A and B are shown apart, each in its own frame.
Chain A
Amino acid sequence: MTNHWIDLKNSDAILIIGCNPAENHPISFKWIEEAMDKGAKLIVVDPRYTRSASKSDIYAQIRPGTDIAFLGGMINYALQNNLIHEEYVRDYTNATFLISEKFDFQDGLFCSFDDQEKTYDAKSWAYETGPDGKPKRDLSMKNPRSVLQLMKKHFSRYNVDMVCSITGTNKEDYIKVAQAFCATGRADKAGTLLYAMGITQSTHGTQNVRATAMLQMLLGNIGIAGGGVNALRGESNVQGSTDYGLLFHLLPGYLKSPEFDNVDLKAYIEKWTPVTKDSKSANWWGNTPKYITSLLKAWYGDNATAANDFCYSYLPKRMGSFSYSKIMEKMLKGDLEGLVCMGMNPAVGGPDSGNARVALSKLKWLVTVDLWETETSIFWKRPGVNPKDIQTEVFMLPAASSIEKEGSISNSGRWAQWRYKAVEPVGKSMSDLWIIDQFFKRVRNLYTKEKGAFPEPITKLAWNYGNGHEPDVHLVAKEINGYFTKDTTIVDKDKTLEFKKGDQVPMFKYLQADGSTVSGNWLYCASYTKDGNQMARRDQSDPTGLGMFPKWSWCWPVNRRVLYNRASVNMAGEPLNPKKVVIAWDALEKKWKGDVPDGPWPPMKDDKEGKYPFIMLPEGHGRLYALDLKDGPFPEHYEPMESPARNLLSKTQNSPVVKVPKNVSSNLSKFPFIGTTYRMTEHWQTGGMTRSVPWLVELVPDMFVEISESLAKQKGFQKGDKVKVTTERGSIEAVVLITSRLKPFNVEGKMIEQVGMPWHFGYAGTAKGDSANMLTPSVGCANTSIPEFKAFLCNIEKGGSKA
C-alpha cells in the first residue's frame, strides 16, 4: 500500500476493484465505514455481488479478466471530460514528456514486436531526449508526441459502449462508477483505490496494476491522505517476505539478484544503478552501490573487503526465469532433487495442482515445516495413489506458532510490528528461526569437515547471533538495520556526525559503499537504532488526526506513513488540500512538517535543491507511460487465455508476449462457463491454518461452488446437490450453493454463466474437500508470472463422481 489501513478514513471515494475487503480484510472495513459515515462513496467492481458490494453505494459487475477495459474506460472518461487534476499531472507525472518517433501502436500490438520470440524491443518506446541528455517536455501537453496526447489517443478507443460490451457491465452502472470516482480529480477530494489478486492474477496483471496507478495519477490521488494505490496483501507477512527478497529475482530491499552477465560487483552496479542527467531528480536507486555493499558486508562480515569485491562472487547468478511455475515444470520433469517448504503448500496453493502433486513425487527428498499436516507433507498418501509407488523421502518438521516466538511482521501498510513470545512452543515444535539456524550450522559443519562444491559461500558466511539455544532475534534485527564497521565521520550539510564502530546506523542515507557499514536490508534501516527497537513502539499519539500514529510500531521507509507525499503539495510546498495536510513546507524554519517527507530537500520550485516527487524513478515523474515492461508502455485489453469472448478491441486475442501452455482450452462446447476462485473470511489460503481449527470448521465445513439461480434452473440443480466441475486440467466435486449474488455476464448479447469457488480446501486437516486449483491453468502474467487463477473456462454437471 502507498498509504495504510487507517488512512482509508480520509477518503471521499473508495474504489474496490479485484478485492473483497469485507470478507478478506474484515477489520479494514472499520475505516471504510468511518469514511462512509463522513459522506464518502463506496464503489465496488467485482464479478460477484460480494459482502463488500453489499455495503456499496455503487456496484458494477465485471467479467473476470477484463479489468484493463474497465479501468481504461475510466482513464478515457477522465481525459475526455477534463476531470484530471491538471496541475498534478503536468508537474508530477510524465504526461509532458515527448516520446520517440518510433513509437507506434497498431491493432493490439505496439511497435517492435518480434513474432518469433514473442517479445518487444522496449528501446523503441524511449523518451525523446534533448542535447542536455534530459527527456524533452512540452508543459502545454499539446504536442502530439507528448505522453498525454498519446494516452488520449490510445484510450479514446475505450469509450463507454465499447468498454461495457467487453466487461458485460450495465452502462448506467458504469457511468455512475466513472462519475463518482473521477470526481476526486481535484485538490480538495481524495480517492483511494483498493485491489488484490483480482487484479494481479492475470496474464496481464502488471498492466492491470498500472491501469490503477495511471488512473490515480491522473486524478492526483497519489501521495495524499485518503488516496493511493493500495494492494491489500493476503498473508500476515507477505509484505515482509517480499521486502526480504524471497523471490528468485530479488535480494533483500528490492535489490536485484545478480544476473549471469553481472560478472563482478562493478558490472552489477553498472547494470542496476540508474543514472539521470537531471539535477532535480533524486534518482533514489542511484544509491544501489551503498545498499548492495552494505548487504554483502552483512552476509560476509570481515571476509568481505574491497579487495575481494566484498565476496560478490559468492552470490549465485541467474540466467532466465526461476519463477514458481518454472520450478514446478522442472520438478515435474524430474530435474529437481530436493525441496524445502517453509509454511508453503504447493499441493493446493499453486495452479494446476494435479500436476503439482505429481511433480512432488519426482523429488528425492522433501522437507516441510508447518503447524499442521498439509497436503504437501502427506502428498505421498493422498487419495488415489499407492505410497509404495512414491520414492520421495519426507521430513515433516513441527513449527512454533506466532505466539510461541518473538520477531516482527510487516502489514500491508508497511508497518513492521513486533510480536512477543507468550508461551513455549507446543510439544517438540520449534521456531523457524531455530530451524533455519540448524540447517545452516549443520551444513556448514559438513562443508568444514568434508570436501564439497565451492564451500566458501557457506564457510565464510557471517552468522553471529549469540550463543543461545536459538539465534538472538534482536541481534538479527540489529544486523538488518545495520551498524558501522569502523569509527566514521559523516558530514551531512551543516552537521558533522561521529559514529563509533558498532553503532547502529540511524537511517539509510548514512549507508556507505566502502564497506564501513553493514545493513541486511537497507529498507529497514532505522527500524532498530540506538534508541532501541522502533518496531515495538506503542505510543498512541496521532498529532495530525489523520491516523498516521507515527510512534506506533515503525514503517518503511524511515517511518514514512504515506509514500510519495511530496506529491501532496504544490511546487512551493503548500498542501494541495489544506484540510488534510500530510506534509507542508515551513518556509521560516526551512523544514517539512507532518509525515516524514519523501526526502529532506526543499520544495520543487527551489531551483538549486528542489526535487521531483517520484524519487524511485530516474526521471522523478510518475509514469503514465512505462519504459521497461515486457508488454507495452500503455495497458491494452487482451482476453484471458481461456475466454468465452473474442477481443472486441483488436485482432490480438491474448497478451502477445505470453506463451500458451498445452492444457488450456477455449472450447466453449466443452467448457461453456467462466470459472473463478476466491477466498472467504472463515478460511485462509490453502486452509492449513484454518481447516483444523474447530470454530472455523464449524462455520464453513465443506468445499462448495457458487452458481446463479438461472444456471441452477438450466441444470436442474437443487441447493446442496453434489456437483462435478471440470476444466482442461481436471475435475473436482463440491456442494453446490445457488445464489442471487452471482449473475451471468452479457458477452456480445449472449448470457455466459459463472461458477465461483473458494480455493481453501484439500485432503489434509479436519475439514477436507477438493482443491479448486486442480482446475486452474498454469499460465501467468507477462511480467511477474503470477498465474491466471481468476478467469478460466469450465463445465459443471450433477453428480459427485470425479473424472
Chain B
Amino acid sequence: MGMSRRQFLQGGALAAAGVALSGKPGEASADAPVTRIKGLKASTTICPFCAVGCGLLVHTKNGKVVNIEGDPQHPINQGALCSKGSSMYQIAVNDKRLQKVMYRAPGSDRFEEKSWDWALDKISMRMKETRDKTFKVNELNKKDNKEYVVNRTEGMAFFGGAGLDNEECYLWAKFARAMGVSQLEHQARL
C-alpha cells in the first residue's frame, strides 16, 4: 500500500479523534488527553538530552510531577519524543537522584552527609588556598626568552557545562576567569 508513515499517523490521529468525539465511554476515550490531564497544572520545557530541542509539557499536581509528555504545539517535535525524552518523568521522580550534600574525607571508604553551608565553606576555602598557592603572575616565553604577566591559577581546573543553562554557563565562565582559571574545558572538546 502506498502510504507513508506520516499519512498513516495522520489517519490514526483522525480515527482516535473520531472515537473521542463520539462521546461513548470506552477504552480509547478513557485515555483521551483532555481527561488525563484535567485539573493539572502544565508548564513547558525543553528536553535535556540531545540538541534537537524538543518541547515537553510537565504536568504537576500539588507541587509534584505527575506526567511529562511531548508538547504538541512545539514546531520541531510536534508532540513526538524518543525513548529518552519519553523517560523524562523518571528523571523528575527517581529515588536514585542525589538529594543530599555528601562528603568523602581523604582516605575514607564512605560518604557522609554534610550541610550545604559546611560544604560550600570548605570548597571556597579549598579554592582560595589552591589559588593563592598556585597563582602564577609571570611566565617565561622560551621563544623570545621574555617574561610576560599571565595572572593565572595553575593548580585548579573547571570542567563541564553542556548540561547547564545558558545563564549558568555565562556565570560559570565569568567566575572561572575571575578566579584566574585558564583550565576551563567541557564536553565540546571531546
Contacts and interface: CB of A to CB of B under 8 A. Distances in A.
Contact of A317 (B68, B151, B172): B151
B160 A398 contact: no
Nearest to B108: A387
Contact of B185 (A247, A364, A439): A247
Nearest to A394: B104
Contacts of A394: 103-104, 111
A244 B169 contact: yes
Contacts of A25: 50-52
A323 B4 CA distance: 47
A381 B64 CA distance: 34
Contacts of B1: none
Interface string A415-426: 111011111101
Candidate in A236, A416, A439 with the most chain B CB atoms within 10 angstroms: A236
B97 A426 contact: yes
B84 A696 contact: yes
A241 B185 contact: no
Contacts of A446: 124-125, 128
Contact of B49 (A236, A323, A427, A692): A236
Contacts of B125: 446
B189 A784 contact: yes
Given A248-B185, A319-B150, A234 B100 contact: no
Given A344-B160, A681-B83, A395 B98 contact: no
Given A234-B51, A413-B53, A419-B45, A433 B149 contact: no
A695 B171 CA distance: 34
Given A395-B101, A552-B75, A696 B83 contact: yes
Interface string B101-132: 11111111101000010011111111110111
A627 interface: no
Given A387-B109, A398-B97, A240 B4 contact: no
Nearest to A231: B51
B163 A235 contact: yes
Interface stretch (A278-286, A449-457, A496-504, A618-626): A449-457
B24 interface: no
Interface in B157-184: 157-184
A579 interface: no
Contacts, number: 481
A438 B120 contact: yes
A458 B151 CA distance: 12
Interface string A681-720: 1111100011011111001000000000000000000000
B99 A241 contact: no
A241 B43 contact: no
Contacts of A339: 156-159
Contacts of A34: 6
A318 B182 contact: yes
Contacts of A549: 75
B124 A442 contact: yes
A237 B148 contact: no
Given A238-B187, A392-B106, A394-B104, A327 B172 contact: no
B129 to A, nearest CB: 8
B141 interface: yes
A405 B126 CA distance: 28
Interface stretch (A42-50, A89-97, A470-478): A470-478
B166 A443 contact: no
A412 B81 CA distance: 17
Interface stretch (A185-193, A368-376, A741-749): A368-376
Contact of B182 (A201, A322, A424, A433): A322
Contacts of B83: 26, 681-682, 695-696, 699
B97 A695 contact: no
A524 to B, nearest CB: 7
A272 interface: no
A6 B76 CA distance: 6
A753 interface: no
B165 A337 contact: no
A397 interface: yes
15 contacts: A246-B185, A316-B151, A337-B133, A340-B159, A344-B187, A351-B190, A391-B107, A393-B126, A395-B102, A397-B119, A401-B97, A402-B48, A403-B65, A442-B120, A443-B124
Given A342-B158, A765-B96, 14 more contacts: A5-B76, A6-B76, A33-B5, A236-B48, A246-B172, A315-B151, A365-B123, A390-B107, A395-B122, A417-B55, A438-B116, A538-B73, A542-B75, A690-B84
